[in-house]
Amino acid sequence: MTFVNHYPKAARIVKANFIVAFVALAIGGFFGLIQALHRTDVFRGFVSSVEYYDVLTGHGVLLALVFTTFFITGLYQWGVTRTMEREPENSTFSWAWFLMMLVGTTMTATAILGGLVPGSGMSAAVLYTFYPPLQAHPLFYIGAALLVVGSWLAGADWFWTYRKWRTDNPDARIPLQTYMVIFTWLMWYLCSLGVALEVVVLLIPWSLGIVAKIDPLLPRTLFWYFGHAVVYFWLLPAYFVWYSILPKLSGGRLFSDPLARIVFIFFLLLSTPIGYHHQYADPGISLVYKMWALIMTLVILLPSLMTAFTVISSMEHGARQRGGSGYFAWMGALPWGRPAFVGCALAGIMFAAGGFSGMVNASLNIDMLVHNTAWIPGHFHLTVGTATALTFMAITYWLLPQLTGKELKFKGLALAQPYTWFIGMTLMSNALHRQGLAGVPRRVSEPEYAGINYEVPFGTMAEMNWQVAIGGIILFVALIFFLVVVGGTFWAGTPATNVDDTIPPPLSGPEHSPEILDNLKLWMGVAVVLVLIAYTLPLAEMVMDGLFSPGAFPSPV
Amino acid sequence: MHVHRFEKLWIGLSLFLIAAFIGIVLFGFTVMDLKVPGIEEGRQVDPTTVLSDEKFSKPGVRKISDDHYEVYMIAQQFIFRPGSTQPLTIPANTKITFHMTAPDVMHGFEVPGSGLNATIIPGQIATFSTRFPEAKTYGIICHQYCGAAHHNMQGEIEVVPPSEFDESNLISQ
């Protein structure tokens, strides 16, 4: 008896979300392979250097928005149902938000893929950031809005469950997994409001031709109001896994439940009012706000460094339970033969490296050396591309038997997958970082320019290109391993006996922490105040001279 | 609430690291003269009429004093003016103030090897100053995706010794 037997309705919803996520992962991952070969001039036969931008848009949207959102709604539905011990209050409502997100995704994907079909009359090569005046087909924006609004309703579904649970348990502390879901979604409501306003108020009327011109700086600023918090929207579900499941996979228990709560409070408060750090090189935003973003961004290192401590000490506890000893030798006692553990642990190691390159990006004037260079994709393929994506893939290995009642198929392939991903990403990411230091730009189909010789700090440009191309191929192979394991389990898995689905209580539980940590209204209130401090004046300046002014004409791509 | 003493130590070290990073950035600003766009007050322009603007209608180099020149540059699909059809020529070891804008879509201005980096946004004028320490040829790359031929958008800056700088090509207001 496991999750699927106790909560069959929730299990179906989780599986549906995961399937959409993995289809997006498959297509987006293949696009990534095309880019790795095209950019490096190893093979430019898949698409032209113009179509490259359609592929790049598809890669960004399908992976960073679609794969993540659907996996997260699935994972969180599992966590809420499991810890609230209730099926969704109304299945029709749950399927409604899922379908809304799916319809939105289909519209957006159609607009993007239309760019690769000559004569379709449709295209959306605006990249994942869709900065106007570059203009996509209206379906692109309408679909994106539906995806975001659908995710809001998913959150409403979980709050509904939580309210019912609260009525039955008036004095209980919020269980940790539901607590993390709630704080992630409070942050998500706060930040995605920016992109929703951008898309619904500015871009949809403009793409339909209702208004002729657009002020490029305002939508860009609203995008980044959302655009940095969204990285924590990707990351917090990985933290959810690292805090609540990884200690158990290591053979132990979570070190401290209260500190996990404090970390999530930090992210709710600090994720949104720092978006300007993506606009360090922008005119029209004064240095005062750039400084504010710098300080707040570096402060947000604290909850991640605290996470590193808690996760590693939980793993050490697990290793010692398994017979490990010594200062460092305990690491050898960790379960390096279990795919779910290996994926999460390797994702954590890569996240540490990504965190350090992120500190460089955050450092205002030092960022000028790497802003918009290949360093940036080097950085975020370690964070969202590994810390998040590899954790999601790894925990899928642990969740699938609970969701399907079947044994995981092809366990050897599942174990090889995280190691393969790790090797591929090490090659690709280190080379992208170093190319960025030499000034090679990101988001360009042919980064070689006549008359420009990049001064490479060490190594050679050819060697780095080969590392990116080979790394990309290895990552794609790892992705195929993953899809084979998941597909095999879904369609050819044999019934499981004794599914491993228990999570032991933490070493230090919530009873040792002040109840104020669970005060949702208080923390949401503080978060709103911090956002108002950061954004009121700059946004007012941009809006006062007219919502669409100074306006530029659209440039369809 | 119990916090383990190792964790207290770790949090203390983390706060020190954060303070050190902020300190490094401030050191760069004050001592090393590492700046970012946004320090010098830019102004707004109407992107649909900027090509007939007093200064931007005649992009190029203007002289302010013997030690200070300013460059008005337009970034547009898919050239820099000046920079793409003919190189931008400026003197070394002299203060250069750039004023840049775009009439169509966003562009980027990156000069590899110089640390110059700016986003060019229609409607905004990006203003920033620098000194090129030595005579050398630099490339300009548009590093903000701007449309189908984005990868062809590049230019050149020719930094010449101040003694060899030909003032006959300057724009006189």
pLDDT digits (tens, 9 = 90+) for A244-278: 999 999 999 998 899 999 999 999 999 999 998 99
Are B105 and A552 a contacting pair at CB < 8 A?
yes
Q: Which residue of A has its CA nearest to B149?
A: A50
Spatial contact of A287 and A364, defined as CB atoms under 8 Å apart: no
* Average predicted confidence (pLDDT) for chain B: 91
Predicted confidence band at B173 (pLDDT cuts at 50, 70, 90)?
A: low
Say yes or no to pLDDT of A392 above 90: yes
CB contact under 8 A, A217 and B124: yes
The residue-averaged pLDDT of A79-88 equals 97
Round to whole Å and give the CA distance between A7 and A48. 49
* Residues A6-33, mean pLDDT to the nearest whole number: 98
% pLDDT > 70, chain A = 100
* pLDDT score at B43: 79
- Using CB atoms and an 8 Å cut-off, which of residues 302-331 of chain A contact chain B? 302, 305-306, 309-310, 313
> Of the listed A38, A261, A317, A443, which one is catalytic?
A443
Instruction: Report whether A246 contacts A314 (CB < 8 A).
Output: yes
Q: Residue A469: its pLDDT value, please?
A: 98
Write down the pLDDT at residue B42. 65
- Give the best residue of B1, B80, B98, B109 to mutate against chain A (max A CB count within 10 A): B1
Residue type, B113: G
d(CA A154, CA A379): 30
**CB-CB: which of A259, A364, A550 is closest to B25?**
A364
Rounded distance, CA A38 to CA A44, Å?
Answer: 5
Taking the C-alpha atoms of residue A143 and residue A110, their distance in angstroms, rounded to an integer, is 9
- Per-residue pLDDT at A471: 98
Band of pLDDT at residue A279, cut at 50, 70 and 90: very high
Residue A359 sits at the chain B interface (C-beta within 8 Å): yes
On whether the CB atoms of residues A292 and A227 are closer than 8 A, the answer is: no
Each residue's pLDDT tens digit, B117-139: 999 999 999 999 999 999 999 99
Residue of A nearest to B2 (CA): A512
pLDDT per residue as tens digits for the range A447-504: 999 888 899 988 999 999 999 999 999 999 999 999 999 999 999 989 998 899 999 9
The stretch A125-144 carries a mean pLDDT of 97
Cβ <8 Å between A213 and B44: no
Report the run of H or E that residue A230 belongs to, with start and end: helix A229-244
pLDDT of B5 reads 87
- Global ipTM: 0.94
Q: Could you tell me if B161 and B135 are in contact, meaning their C-beta atoms sit under 8 angstroms apart?
A: yes
pLDDT band per the 50, 70, 90 thresholds, residue B67: very high
How does residue B2 score in pLDDT terms, banded at 50, 70 and 90?
confident
> Any CB–CB contact under 8 A between A287 and chain B?
yes
Edge-to-edge order in the sheet of strand B154-160: B88-91, B154-160, B136-141, B107-111, B116-120
Name the residue facing A283 among B10, B25, B126 (closest C-beta).
Answer: B126
Check CB contact under 8 Å for B117 and A369: yes
Q: Does A282 touch chain B (CB under 8 A)?
A: yes
- Asked whether the beta carbons of residue B110 and residue A441 sit closer than 8 angstroms, the reply is yes
Rg (CA), chain B: 20
pLDDT of A104 > 90? The answer is yes
Contact A438 B112 (CB under 8 A): yes
For residue A556, say if its preceding peptide bond is cis, omega within 30 degrees of 0.
no
Interface contacts A/B by beta carbons within 8 Å: 216
A76 in active site? no
The question of whether A228 is a catalytic residue gets the answer: yes
pLDDT at position A332 over 90: yes
Query: Cα(B140)–Cα(A317) distance, rounded to whole angstroms?
Result: 54
Q: Under an 8 A CB cutoff, do A449 and B141 touch?
A: yes
Residue B70 is encoded by which pair of tokens? 């300013």
Q: What is the 3-state secondary structure (H, E, C) of A300-311?
A: CHHHHHHHHHHH
Which candidate, A418, A441, A456, A225, places its Cα nearest to that of A335?
A418
Q: Is the pLDDT of residue B13 over 70?
A: yes
**Domains in chain A, start-ordered, CATH in brackets?**
3-443+454-556 (1.20.210.10)
- Name the residue with tokens 């130590």: B9
Q: What residues 32-51 of chain A have any CB closer than 8 A to a CB of chain B?
A: 49-50
Q: Is A442 noted as a catalytic residue in this protein? A: yes
Rounded Cα–Cα distance for residues A458 and A469 (Å)? 19
Q: Which chain A residues touch B5 with a CB distance below 8 Å?
A: none
Determine whether A137 is an active site residue.
no
Phi/psi of residue A486, nearest 5 degrees? -70, -50
A449 vs B: CB within 8 A: yes
Beta bridge partners of B141: B110, B154
Higher pLDDT, residue A524 or B32:
A524
Q: What number of CA atoms fall less than 13 Å from residue A245's CA on the CB side?
A: 28
∠ CA A379-A288-A531, nearest 5°, is 75
Q: Which CATH superfamily is domain B50-169 in?
A: Cupredoxins -  blue copper proteins (2.60.40.420)
Q: How many CA atoms lie within 13 A of A129 on its CB side?
A: 22
CA distance A126 to A203: 12
How many degrees, rounded to 5, is the angle at CA B124 between CA B120 and CA B130? 60
The pLDDT of residue A432 is: 97
Return d(Cα A552, Cα B23) in angstroms, integer. 40
Does the structure show a pLDDT above 70 at B39? no
Report residue A267 as tokens: 């992210």
Mark whether A82 is an active-site residue. Answer: no
A512 to B24: CB separation less than 8 angstroms, yes or no: no
| Contact assignment for A217 to B15 by CB distance below 8 Å | no
Name the residue with higher pLDDT: A545 or A333.
A333
Q: Nearest residue of A to residue B16 by CA position?
A: A302
pTM over cut 0.90: yes
What is the average pLDDT across A412-433? Answer: 98
Domain ranges of chain B: 1-34, 50-169
Over residues A331-345, the mean pLDDT reads: 96
User: What sign does the CA torsion over A176, A181, A186, A191 have?
Assistant: positive
Contact call for B28 and A441, based on CB within 8 A? no
Q: Amino acid identity of A431?
A: A
**Mean pLDDT throughout A187-207?**
96
Contacts of B34 (CB under 8 A, 6+ apart): A365, A366, A368, B28, B115
Q: What is the pLDDT of residues B89-115, one digit of tens each?
A: 999 999 999 999 999 999 999 999 888
pLDDT confidence tier of residue B143, bands split at 50, 70 and 90? very high
A438 chain-B contacts, CB cut-off 8 A: 112
According to DSSP, the β-strands at B79-81 and B68-76 are antiparallel
What is the rounded distance in angstroms from the CA atom of residue A212 to the CA atom of residue A203?
11
Q: Is the pLDDT of residue A166 over 90?
A: yes
Cβ atoms of B152 and B85 within 8 Å: the answer is: no
pLDDT at residue A317 is higher than 80: yes
Q: Are B126 and B120 in contact (CB under 8 A)?
A: yes
> Does residue A135 contact residue A207 with C-beta atoms inside 8 Å?
yes
A380 has catalytic annotation: yes
List the single best residue of B43, B56, B143 to mutate versus A (max A Cβ within 10 A): B143
Cis before B27 (ω within 30): no
Question: What's the CA gap between A81 and A175, in Å, rounded?
Answer: 11
Buried b (16+ CB within 10 A) or exposed e, A188-220: bbbbbbbbbbbbbebbbebbeeeeebbbbbbbb
